Structure 1
Amino acid sequence: MTLMSDSPATNVPSDAGLVLAVDEVTALTPTVRHMRLVASDGALLPSFTPGSHIVVTCGTGPEGQSRRNSYSLTGPGFEPDHYGISVRLEEDGRGGSRWIHSLRAGDRVQVSTPRSAFAPVLTARHHLLVAGGIGVTPILSHVRAAVQWGRSFEVHYVHREGDAAHLDDLEQLCGDRLHLHTGRDGFWEHMGPALLDQPIGTHLYACGPAALIDELTDRAGRAGWPGARVHYEHFGVGDLDPGEPFTAHLTRSGVDVDVASGVSLLEALGSRGIAVPSLCRQGVCGECRLPVVSGDIEHRDLYLGAAEKEAGDCLMPCVSRANGPRLELDL
């Protein structure tokens, strides 16, 4: 296992983020482990809003480059003494979850400061929270804040039988406001009426697999929910087809960058010394967005909307590729 720097963590953010120590590892289910991360000097960590995540540097990939994954924070957000993340082991994934599952108490990890694009709307009259599988992690953060501030909420949690991470936490926090589902049919049978029977001013929040998010948002739209009251956070895009090789031409510098099959455009640019800001590297956060001058794009991200993809003037280089031999970028 590759460990990070031994330098102590601090509660003052830096460009490099934070270096935290693994304080405790807990098996929540046969496939999910919870990591409690603390500052080595015992300092309080930066506060965060509910629904926030951190980006963890999970060792290095096959090409020797840092592998970074985003994980939602599950604990209290105000002046926390730790960051909690819960990670499902993905046997066929890129290796980040395996690296996380290999950690032990005392190991050091490098993380970003918290970031959120999935915060609760404070003016909402009611919060309808939906979690699918490990998507329960940001929902748990929302629940903690709702209980703390006395907000109206309910939770619908669909999971596999015997594989419900944080079920004890939710049962303790929610009481009869928690609705559990272990089958798809039963979940949708319950959610249909739930989408229709909500007070005006309710906001819907969902996190889980793309199929669940897509169907839930479609049903909400057909039930009359305004788009501004529907909020969701996808999982990453997972492993992708390696794609065909192509050339990225940088119009401002005149440089051609060859992108091999199985190598992302983001990685190819980095190998030529062209730094592009990035966080999740899974097509979710939108941090690495680049302008496109010309060329067909194979969009693979979960960040851009349909209209933005149709416009063809930008892409997420962490996952998306050229749909052809050449792509011109405004770089």
Structure 2
Amino acid sequence: MANSYQTLQVRVARIERATPLIKRFTLAAADGGPLPPFTGGSHVIVQMQDGARRYSNAYSLMGSPDELGHYQIGVRREEASKGGSAFLHDKVAEGDGLAITMPNNLFALSAQASHHVLVAGGIGITPFLSQMHELRKRGASHELHYAYRAEEHGAFRDEIVAQSRQAGAGTARFYVDSLGQKLDLDGLARGLQAGAHIYVCGPAPLIDAVRAAAQAAGIAPERVHWEQFAAPPQAGDAFSVVLARSGRTVEVAPGESILKAIERGNAAEVECLCREGVCGTCETRILDGEAEHFDQYLSEAEKRAQRSLMICVSRAKGQRIVLDL
């Protein structure tokens, strides 16, 4: 098993409504001191206790990495979610305490890129806000393309425009679906200059479209970066998981994760904080067989090595896999 996360106690210093569905939460250290440093694209996992129910949701840090007196996260209320966003929207007030993990970055800016092209959809704008602070400080060449479905859903647009004007660096373009404004992803990918990297965060269809456009344009995979805090839907045939330490075999049903199958049968003690393939706490060693990897935690090289998998989202490639549990 992998990471055991250190927890920070924070206080909700301020709550602001950014759009009809998005609130910004400003978090300060409970002891009043500075918070740990982070880099653009970092996230924290917010741990919430609602009676007997516990939620752990990952959120990007959207403030300046130079301002450690507080963190800021943007939370979109998701009706069809695990419940954490609704809890934050409906039950958390200014002055309340929360527990969060130390910042972690799975969506860092590339040091090799000569130009950075940022593509955001909806709430996917949040990691780019901290990244743009970092890019402006570096004096790095960059541009932002931000798409959302209607004018009232353009969270943080005014701030982006104001900061871009003040810095005099980078460009920001906005695309409002209800106004018929469409982002030409194929054209963007074809026009990507040599040495430039493209980053995308937002709904799964946007991420898939950017990755497909980049592939069609012949852009090397290492120049394409993406992030989405949502577990992929479990799909695929049933398979068996052999737990090597106990010798037990667990049958994983179609549409079921390995983690849920183990918990359903109380077959082993496992730890998983996020259940979305981003925190690394459920990383488990593969002893035999191969995995289909759906997490965002392991690098592409680590996935190819087939030494471990995240049991919350990843599956067996065949009918059987043996794990170090």
Deviates more, 1:286-295 or 1:33-42: 286-295
Deviation at 1:285, TM superposition (A): 4.6
Task: Determine which of 208, 215, 221 is the counterpart of 1:221.
Answer: 215
For residue 114 of structure 2, what is the aligned residue in structure 1?
125
Count of aligned pairs: 313
Are 2:282 and 1:288 equivalent residues in the alignment? yes
For residue 317 of structure 1, what is the aligned residue in structure 2?
311
Are 2:269 and 1:274 equivalent residues in the alignment? yes
C-alpha contact 1:294 1:313 (8 A) present in aligned 2: no
C-alpha contact 2:232 2:313 (8 A) present in aligned 1: no
Are 2:72 and 1:84 equivalent residues in the alignment? yes
Equivalent AA in structure 1 for residue 35 of structure 2 = L
Measure the CA separation in 2 of the matches of 1:269 and 1:249: 11
Report SS of the residue matched to 1:187. Answer: coil
Measure the CA separation in 1 of the matches of 2:186 and 2:238: 45
> Identity over the aligned pairs, expressed in percent?
39
Deviation at 1:260, TM superposition (A): 8.7
C-alpha contact 1:147 1:173 (8 A) present in aligned 2: no
For residue 141 of structure 2, what is the aligned residue in structure 1?
152
Query: Do the aligned partners of residues 312 and 44 (structure 1) sit closer, same or farther apart at CA in structure 2, a change above 3 Å counting?
Result: closer
C-alpha contact 1:53 1:73 (8 A) present in aligned 2: yes
Q: Deviations over 1:19-44 (max 9, x none)?
A: 10000000100000110010122100
C-alpha contact 2:234 2:257 (8 A) present in aligned 1: no
Task: Determine which of 27, 31, 51 is the counterpart of 2:41.
Answer: 51
Paired residues for 1:192-207 under 5 Å: 192-207=186-201
Query: Do the aligned partners of residues 320 and 238 (structure 1) sit closer, same or farther apart at CA in structure 2, a change above 3 Å counting?
Result: closer
Give the TM-score of the pair, scaled to structure 1.
0.80
For residue 102 of structure 2, what is the aligned residue in structure 1?
113
C-alpha contact 2:201 2:207 (8 A) present in aligned 1: yes
Higher relative contact order (CA 8 A, sep 6+): 2
C-alpha contact 1:207 1:235 (8 A) present in aligned 2: no
Measure the CA separation in 2 of the matches of 1:268 and 1:225: 39
Measure the CA separation in 2 of the matches of 1:186 and 1:318: 37
Measure the CA separation in 2 of the matches of 1:305 and 1:183: 34
For residue 32 of structure 2, what is the aligned residue in structure 1?
42
Report SS of the residue matched to 1:124. Answer: coil
C-alpha contact 2:15 2:93 (8 A) present in aligned 1: yes
For residue 131 of structure 2, what is the aligned residue in structure 1?
142
Deviation at 1:179, TM superposition (A): 0.5
Report SS of the residue matched to 2:153. Answer: coil
Give the TM-score of the pair, scaled to structure 2.
0.81
Query: Do the aligned partners of residues 142 and 15 (structure 1) sit closer, same or farther apart at CA in structure 2, a change above 3 Å counting?
Result: closer
Deviates more, 1:213-222 or 1:258-267: 258-267
Report SS of the residue matched to 2:128. Answer: helix
Query: Do the aligned partners of residues 120 and 309 (structure 1) sit closer, same or farther apart at CA in structure 2, a change above 3 Å counting?
Result: closer
For residue 94 of structure 1, what is the aligned residue in structure 2?
82
Unmatched 5+ stretches in structure 1 = 1-13
Deviation at 1:259, TM superposition (A): 7.0
Deviation at 1:302, TM superposition (A): 5.6
